[in-house]
Each structure stands twice: as C-alpha cells, then as structure tokens.
C-alpha cells in the first residue's frame, strides 16, 4: 500500500507507544519509516494540533521540498482503517511558509522566503551566544511572558517556580554570557530553560512563548485569571462551561462578592501603583491609626518596603507594644476609613477576632484609581516574623523557609520555632508532623473529639520511610494477644493504598469511632502500621480474667483496652433445713399470731412474749 514512500512523523504531541504502532503498520504495508528528517522523506506527518512555530521550523530543515508531502496524521490513520492509500489533498497542511505544488503536494518554500515571510523571526539567527545587558533583559521579559500566558494559567506551580528562579538569576547576572556552558553554570537555570534562552539569543524568540500566544485556551484562562478572586481552578470551570469573554462572565457566571468586585475594578487592579501613590495611601491610614492610639507601630510592607518603583497593592502591618490594645483596633480603623470614603469596597467580612482586612481604597483626588489594600494587625511578639514574611519577595520567603527547615526550625508569620519534630516522607523530604487528634472516652460510651496534648515527644521515632514495627523495641512488659483500634480521622485525603488498607481493616465505608479487634500477629501489625497516623490503638487486658464462651454476652470492651466481664455469681451458702410443719404452716401461723398476739396461746415456741431477738416480729 505504501510502496516507494518514506515516512517521518514529527514526535510533537504524539506519545512513544503510538509512534511505535504507526511504525509497525507502515513497515507491514511496504513503507519505509525514517527516524530522522532528511532528503529521503517523501511524506511528513504532523499531529492534527501542531502549531505554526513547529511547521516553520520544519520548513528550514527540509532540504528538498519539491517531492515532500506534508499531511496530517489523521491521513495515515484513515488509510490504515480502510486498508487503502487515500488522496492526501484533504489532509494537506496549510501554513505560512508552505506553498502548494500541483494538486496533492503541500511543501515548504525556499529558505529565503521562509525567513522573509515568517513573523516570528525577530532578529537574524546566530550560531554563537554573546549576550549583552539589553538582551538579558529582553529574554527575562520573554520568560515572564511564558509564565503569564502559560504555566500560571494552568496552575503548574513547579514550572512557575523554575522560571521565576531563572528570571531572578538572569537579572542578577552583571556580566555578558559568552558560551552555553557559562549559561548552564548559573545557579537557578536548569538544562531545559537554558536551551530556551539559547534559542532566544540565536533566533530572537522563545518557541514555547509563541506556542502559548497562539493557544486559545491559555489565552482565555489568562483572561479569567486576571480577575481578582479567580484562580486556575475556577478559570478551568468557566472554560468548560463555554465562557470565553468577560461579557460571558458578567451575564452567565455565578459570581461571589469578591469576584464581582474583582471584575468591576479589573482594569484598575491590573495597573501598577507608583511608589508615590502607595505613600499617599499609607499616610492616610497611618494618620487614622495614630488618632486611635499614638503608640501603635505602623509599617508599609511588600514591594514598597523592598524599595521597588511600583507595587501591585498596598500592604500594611500594624501592632501595639502592650500586646493587648491591638485586638480591637482593626474593626474601628476600617469603620472610620469607610465612613470617610477612603475604603469603597470590602473583600473580607469584619468578624470578631479577625486580624486581617482586604479591601479596595481610592484617594480623594479626582481621577484616582481604585487600589487593592491589605491591613494586617498582629500581636507585638509576632511582629518581627510577620514583617519578614509580608515584606517578601515570595522567592525570598520560600528560600528562608527552606533554610529554617534544614536547621530543624519552622518559620511562619506567627513565630520562628526550634526543635520541631519532623518525619521523613516517602519522597525523602523532612516534613513537619502536626500534633494528632484523638477521641477521648467518656462515660456511657460517648466519645468527644479533642486535640491530643503535646506534652512530650512521642515514644516512637518513625525515622525512615518503610520502617516496620520490627524496627523498634517492645515497649510492653507482656505482649498482648489482641489489639483494639479505631479511626479518629477520615482517610479521604490519603493515598489510594492507605484508603484501601483502611477499608480492609475497618470496612467500607470506614466509620469514625467504630472499634475493631485485631490479633497481635505480624500481618495485622504490618497493616495497622501503615495507617498509624489515622488510628488510635491499645492493647486489650482482662482485669476479671479471660472470658469464656458462656461469658460472651456479658463482655464489655472499653477504648482503654480493658475487657470487663459481668459474670453471674450463684449463692453457694448452705441451706438451713426446717421441719415440714414449719414449712407448710409458716404463713398460717404468722397470720394467726397477728390476730391473737394479745392472747396467751402458745401454739409454737415463738410467742408474742418471747425475747425480741428470737421473736418472729
């Protein structure tokens, strides 16, 4: 069917297993499969979703375009389905940089015409690297464009972090880069990002950035993400619902209060705030704070404190030296500034014990834009760490957090703590282990969900991933025969393996508080060990002795592990035999004595006049 044809498939957007299948099918039908693009290729296959950048790049690689057909991959799929070689004209690729020859051929034009017509050629292509300060700045903006239009929109945070590190590394580089080895040696620039930078310096553009520019989905997601209060997840939901423009969002989408405000002032929020305007807004807030209490400590954070020329919003941090007066400051401050017209919209509700405000402010001058403002009020002892975290930048805070973790400490906005117990995760990273919570037993079989007090370190040290109960010494004087265990936390956020083990041990669906009994055997111990962070377990003891089969209805198992048995105890005292007459006439005699107690009838030995100790009365 494919006799005399030589195929080459561009691997872009095609998985390896699929390429292997196409290769086998072509060779079975008398075709030749090439692993590289050269002059012998007669049919060039492109994925149906291939973009212009890739096509123009292939144009430059084809040495003899006059006999090379460039068709969609769907042509080969349809040929194999029908078992016949179909006409390739309906499947021909039509891109700038390609021109038709005859009725079936769609091939590349000459190299000169490609370089002349392609809009992506920003500057002549060079074969060596020699960067100047201006080129370093331009490639930084190009990488930032990749972030803005691509990875941030799809919530790919790890690639976002990688590009941010590369951008900062290039901005700090104060010397020209002469070679690719010199570029790769810069800390913060990986192999793949270095390849993109080299491609920019040689061709004048970043191929990935051009792909993102022509991707409709990413453009729509970026548009939705530009609304304050909308994240990547919500953007994906709106795109799946068919929304494509801001007008669709206004008319059809169900918006929260924050999203309505973000959509209303979207264009104004996207504009950077000059340093002078930040100072004016901060001065208004500071004057109001000092009018409430002159002893308050006031600090403007964010990019303003980092002495940047522009800011995205206004970040303000407030505290009080006495550690008490700050508690009622924020609601009063927000109310006063709102009454004066400085705060136009609120993005957070003012509740009791809430120490952070997010809102919209506007200067009283005519033509002033609406700006985002955040005010955080913290206790005096938390002010240093809060100032550090709110000043930024985000990359600096991540770096100093990583440094604190490596030193056995934990840094947050509230404090810097040392001696934090950490557990090695499956990936090898040391993670902080939060205090667990447990169910505390109360009388009448009632359980209350209470936090476990963290009064001392755990008796068990779970050091390495993959450890088992056999790796630790026995802590009990006498090994129990049985364990009692119950769930105190749902496994819904755990891995699939942990959820499966939980269902095996506690049933499906597993319920909190349901106590289960397990044998003290290696198998059950190993299964319980894998979910030790979800369960509470105690050894079973028998204060009244081990129950028998007859005692099963009277067994009571407590969460502490005590197994109580309420046994029936028979009266073993000897029975005193009396004479038959006394047995049969006892009631009759007592009745007669009650009626004739004042008579001197001595029916038996007992009489009304007998001593009290012996009398039946």
At 203, phi and psi to the nearest 5?
A: -110, -15
Output the furthest CA–CA distance in the chain (Å, rounded). 149
CA proximity to 340, closest of 294, 268, 285: 285
Q: Is 574 exposed, middle or buried (CB count within 10 Å of its CB: 0-12, 13-18, 19+)?
A: exposed
Per the CB < 8 A criterion, the answer to whether 40 and 34 are in contact is yes
d(CA 335, CA 347): 14
Q: Are strands 535-539 and 482-487 parallel, antiparallel or unpaired?
A: antiparallel
User: Tokens representing 206?
Assistant: 């970043």
SS (H, E, C) 552-575: HHHEEECCCCEEEECCCCCCCCCC
98 bridge partner residues: 108
449 bridge partner residues: 439
Per the CB < 8 A criterion, the answer to whether 503 and 509 are in contact is yes
d(CA 453, CA 39): 75
The residue from 85, 122, 196, 446 that is catalytic is 196
CA proximity to 372, closest of 283, 268, 240, 455: 268
d(CA 7, CA 418): 63
- Tokens 């490596």, located at residue: 406
Per the CB < 8 A criterion, the answer to whether 45 and 26 are in contact is no
Radius of gyration of the chain (CA): 41
Question: CA angle, 252 as apex, 251 and 254 as ends, to 5°?
Answer: 110
Q: N- to C-terminal Cα distance for the chain?
A: 123
Buried-state track 500-523, b at ≥16 Cβ within 10 A, e below 16: ebbeebbeeebeeeeebebeeeee
User: Tokens representing 372?
Assistant: 């985002």
Peptide bond into 393 cis (omega under 30): yes
Per the CB < 8 A criterion, the answer to whether 396 and 172 are in contact is no
Active site residue 196: yes
Buried-state track 49-66, b at ≥16 Cβ within 10 A, e below 16: ebbbbbbbbbbeebeebe
Q: Are strands 430-432 and 343-346 parallel, antiparallel or unpaired?
A: unpaired
Given its phi and psi angles, is residue 188 left (phi above 0), alpha (psi -120 to 50 degrees) or beta? Answer: left
d(CA 43, CA 69): 5
* CA distances to 53, 129, 361 from 197, in Å: 16, 10, 41
- Tokens 């060990």, located at residue: 529
Per the CB < 8 A criterion, the answer to whether 318 and 377 are in contact is yes
Please give the positions annotated as active site. 196
């Amino acid at each position: 069917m494919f006799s005399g044809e030589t195929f080459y498939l561009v691997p872009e957007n095609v998985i390896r297993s699929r390429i292997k299948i196409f290769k086998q099918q072509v060779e079975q039908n008398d075709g030749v499969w090439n692993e590289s693009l050269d002059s012998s290729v007669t049919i060039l296959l492109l994925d149906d979703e291939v973009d212009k950048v890739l096509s123009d790049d292939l144009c430059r690689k084809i040495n003899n375009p006059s006999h090379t057909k460039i068709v969609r991959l769907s042509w080969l799929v349809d040929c194999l389905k029908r078992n016949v070689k179909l006409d390739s004209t309906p499947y021909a690729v039509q891109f700038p940089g390609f021109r038709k020859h005859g009725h079936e051929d769609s091939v590349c034009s000459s190299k000169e015409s490609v370089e002349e017509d392609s809009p992506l050629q920003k500057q002549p292509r060079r074969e060596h690297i020699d960067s100047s300060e201006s080129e370093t700045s331009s490639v930084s903006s190009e990488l930032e464009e990749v972030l803005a239009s691509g990875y941030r929109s799809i919530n790919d945070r790890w690639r976002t972090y990688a590009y941010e590190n590369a951008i900062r590394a290039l901005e700090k580089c104060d010397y020209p880069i002469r070679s690719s080895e010199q570029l790769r040696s810069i800390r913060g620039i990986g192999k793949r990002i270095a390849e993109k930078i080299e491609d920019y310096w040689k061709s004048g553009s970043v191929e990935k950035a051009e792909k993102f520019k022509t991707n409709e989905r990413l453009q729509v997601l970026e548009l939705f993400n530009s609304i304050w209060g909308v994240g990547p997840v919500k953007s994906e939901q709106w795109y799946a619902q068919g929304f494509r423009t801001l007008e669709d969002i206004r008319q059809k989408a169900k918006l929260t209060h924050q999203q309505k405000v973000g959509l209303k002032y979207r264009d104004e929020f996207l504009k950077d705030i000059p340093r002078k305007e930040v100072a004016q807004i901060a001065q208004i807030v500071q004057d109001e704070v000092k009018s409430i209490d002159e002893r308050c400590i006031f600090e403007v954070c964010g990019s303003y404190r980092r002495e940047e020329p522009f800011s995205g919003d206004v970040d303000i941090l407030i505290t009080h030296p006495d550690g008490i007066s700050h508690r009622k400051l924020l609601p009063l401050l927000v109310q006063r500034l709102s009454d004066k017209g400085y705060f136009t919209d609120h993005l957070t509700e003012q509740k009791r014990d809430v120490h952070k405000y997010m809102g919209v402010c506007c200067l009283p001058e005519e033509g002033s834009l609406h700006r985002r403002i955040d005010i955080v009020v913290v206790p005096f002892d938390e002010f240093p760490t809060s100032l550090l975290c709110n000043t930024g930048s985000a990359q600096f805070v991540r770096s100093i957090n990583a440094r604190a973790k490596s030193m056995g400490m934990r840094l947050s906005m509230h404090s810097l703590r040392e001696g934090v117990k950490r557990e090695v995760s499956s990936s090898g990273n040391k993670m902080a282990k939060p205090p667990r919570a447990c169910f505390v037993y109360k009388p009448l079989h009632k359980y209350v969900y209470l936090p476990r007090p963290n009064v001392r370190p755990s008796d068990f040290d779970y050091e390495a991933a993959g450890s088992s109960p056999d790796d630790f010494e026995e802590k009990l004087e006498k090994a129990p025969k049985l364990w009692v265990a119950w769930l105190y936390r749902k496994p819904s956020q755990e891995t699939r393996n942990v959820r499966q083990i939980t269902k095996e041990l506690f049933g499906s669906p597993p319920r909190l508080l349901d106590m289960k009994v397990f044998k003290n055997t290696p198998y059950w111990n190993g299964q319980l060990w894998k979910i030790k962070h979800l369960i509470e377990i105690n050894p079973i003891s028998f204060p009244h002795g081990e129950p028998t089969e007859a005692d099963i209805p009277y067994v009571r198992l407590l969460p502490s592990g005590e197994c109580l048995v309420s046994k029936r105890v028979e009266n073993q005292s000897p029975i005193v035999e009396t004479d038959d007459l006394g047995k049969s006439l006892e009631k009759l005699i007592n009745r007669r004595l009650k009626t004739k107690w004042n008579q001197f009838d001595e029916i038996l030995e007992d009489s009304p006049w007998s001593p009290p100790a012996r009398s039946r009365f």
